[in-house]
A and B are shown apart, each in its own frame.
Chain A
């Protein structure tokens, strides 16, 4: 196959380039958010994030230090020396001493000003300002520079979002709330569904086919239908809005997919092993825990990833079953939506908050992609 395709090298190049273009197009949005989360509010609002990746030319104004305090006698004249950058050096491309011509001089050149004083500026920001007693008095000389600013990134946004921020800007609580929702809501359905899947795959009883068909049907029932009746039910039986309600809801909403995936996998396990175990006197419970569960690990992992991503990323179920009017149990997705409403222009907060919530699923995704793909294939390709 490869040899046949390899003959058309022109086409292969076209394919390579189009794939590269598609990948870049698909990555571009996420990278934009990622880069923005490391920029300060000023940087974000003054230039597009793509500009942040390259050194930029920037015009800045500085002042030489106050001559009355810092001037040193040098013969008849006085000298003020120093560096215009205070611990934040950049490379000066050109400079000037008047706002009308901000790039009149190259670094190293000496500017002679109208009243006879001189100023020399090196490319690293060191300056020497000479003049007589009258000239070197009052305020420091203004220096206009055009500098190349290297790409500049900060982790300050993350500090705000995770540690120091107050109120809505702090996601730490929402992060733990999300975790609190997600972990039980991932583990419990697996246990329940695994037993059911085993019964549907390896036990004989009347109505089995009907049940499997029902599970397939439940796969597509929109959970929108469940919102009102279940919220009413939860309020009536006293669960109310809270973690217990959202765990139950996620468990049940994940159940059809869990049963379906696990049953399809378990049906494919070799019959001999199970029958031999039965002949040897193992009970169904033993067969399940000792043989089926360990063998089904790939399917369990697949579902676990699905359920984890789904519960972590969920907004609707949390809004309906969990978050009450006090908002103390808010999850990250909900907090981000609220930020979009109240802090719509503060991209440094928004981008960082969004990235904090995206980071965990992304790690899970890249670490366990194999199982995710396998689960997707088992779930839809039949």
Chain B
């Protein structure tokens, strides 16, 4: 059958879909102008006005229809489903699904991992993006460099998973390693180089991270006690949250600092990286950071170019060194853009599914919420708990949603 060939079917759909859309817009306008409110006869004037009141809705109807049916309705339907039990014929069970979910260790594992993803991926992608944007700004082949670092944006999460699985691949100890990570790892033998690269360098990175976190947390926490700061009520919870999260992060990094110096590393043995808990989560994050850095770079580089040159020149004349120019003059001026990039990547992280699904499928303690939800929906066929976890993702997204809408409305005024 000709019509069963997907290519013919696709072509037919394009023609019907696009033709149908254009036809809908054309004929609905025609009918409006010629039949319902004809711009002639005794009531021509009022008819034109009426037609112009209806017309926007003709233009908007298909889009509104799609948005309502495919995005608005599911939010409420998912909320309803999360309160029902499929096995009991969709009976209302209150919060039972949420209770069941909270009792599962796998759920808490997913939440914990998601928190790690939410902190590390946006931070690392934005930092790398900013670094590349700043560095490539002044060199001749900067555009080529940017284009190459931007390239992973075009690669699917699944493709990236294959790419990185090859990097993390493990062979038995007596064979040649074909994964780069193990090949590099086997070069370390516990000598001075190993101490330098595997203990001193990570310690410095951790200390720098803890320092930055302490600085940011202090900026936020200062407002609770200091005078002259904005003390509005809705800022207080935010300040407290950032302060507490900051303390926790500092504690974590300092305790892992201790871990770096006390753990005996198994030199000389190839590691199956994706099965080592905690490390494997970081290795999965690397994939997303690799993809998202290009996005951050493109946007931040445009923002850097938008900085008025006078401010930079004035700072240089006043004797500022390049680092001061960057951190004191440039970064504060693009803070708004950094926040936008950060939130956009945060959204991507919350929805990340493909990478975990393709690389570990949530085994070895790498579960994240989106994959947990998929597991519940389509493997356990538990629509109640699956919907409940989808609602959790929605709740996590909501602050960003409100913030975006708030900003968009402010702009239009």
Contact = CB atoms under 8 A, between A and B. Distances in A.
Contacts of A227: 74, 377, 390
Contact of B152 (A26, A192, A217): A26
Interface in B340-385: 340-341, 344, 347, 350-351, 353-354, 357-358, 370, 373-374, 377-378, 383
Nearest to A224: B390
Interface stretch (A3-11, A71-79, A102-110, A130-138): A3-11
A205 B53 contact: yes
B8 to A, nearest CB: 10
Contact of A336 (B147, B162, B394, B404): B162
Interface in A1-41: 1-2, 4-5, 8, 11-12, 15-16, 18-20, 22-23, 26-30, 32-33, 36
A377 interface: yes
Contacts of A191: 17-18, 21-22
Interface in A146-166: none
Given A224-B390, A243-B6, A48 B25 contact: no
B180 interface: yes
A253 interface: yes
Nearest to A189: B66
Contacts of A22: 128, 131-132, 135, 145, 149
A26 B290 contact: yes
Interface string B390-413: 110110010011001101110110
Interface residues of B, number: 120
A53 interface: no
A269 B361 CA distance: 47
B18 to A, nearest CB: 6
A147 B50 CA distance: 87
A74 B222 CA distance: 100
Given A19-B136, A376-B299, A213 B313 contact: no
Interface string A204-238: 11001101111111111111111111100100000
A274 interface: no
A172 interface: no
A194 B184 CA distance: 52
Contacts of B404: 216-217, 219-220
Contacts of B412: 209, 212
B321 to A, nearest CB: 9
B67 A252 contact: yes
A193 interface: yes
A256 interface: yes
A362 B354 contact: no
A320 interface: yes
Contacts of B327: none
Interface string A340-382: 1000000100110111011001101110010011001100111
Interface string B315-328: 01000001000000
Contacts of B409: 209, 213
A156 B205 CA distance: 45
Interface residues of A, number: 120
A8 B67 contact: no
B77 A284 contact: no
Residue of B10, B298, B393 ringed by the most chain A CB atoms within 10 A? B10
A355 B162 CA distance: 9
Interface in B61-92: 62-64, 66-67, 69-75, 77-78, 81
Residue of B350, B404, B408, B411 ringed by the most chain A CB atoms within 10 A? B408
B336 to A, nearest CB: 9
Nearest to A356: B159
Contact of B176 (A47, A223, A247): A47
Given A12-B139, A377-B302, A337 B358 contact: yes
B62 A217 contact: no
Nearest to A16: B139
A224 B351 contact: yes
Given A15-B138, A192-B63, A329 B70 contact: no
A49 B152 CA distance: 20
Interface stretch (B163-171, B226-234, B255-263, B275-283): B163-171
A288 to B, nearest CB: 8
B393 A225 contact: yes
Given A27-B148, A247-B13, A19 B18 contact: no
Nearest to A27: B148
B347 A220 contact: yes
Contacts of A229: 73-74, 77-78, 81
A213 B403 CA distance: 11
A285 B66 contact: no
A220 B68 CA distance: 14
Interface stretch (A57-65, A92-100, A113-121, A179-187): A179-187
26 contacts: A23-B145, A26-B290, A29-B167, A30-B152, A32-B167, A191-B17, A199-B55, A203-B55, A221-B394, A222-B390, A224-B393, A225-B393, A227-B74, A228-B81, A229-B73, A244-B13, A248-B70, A256-B71, A309-B154, A333-B156, A336-B358, A362-B155, A365-B154, A369-B150, A372-B153, A382-B408
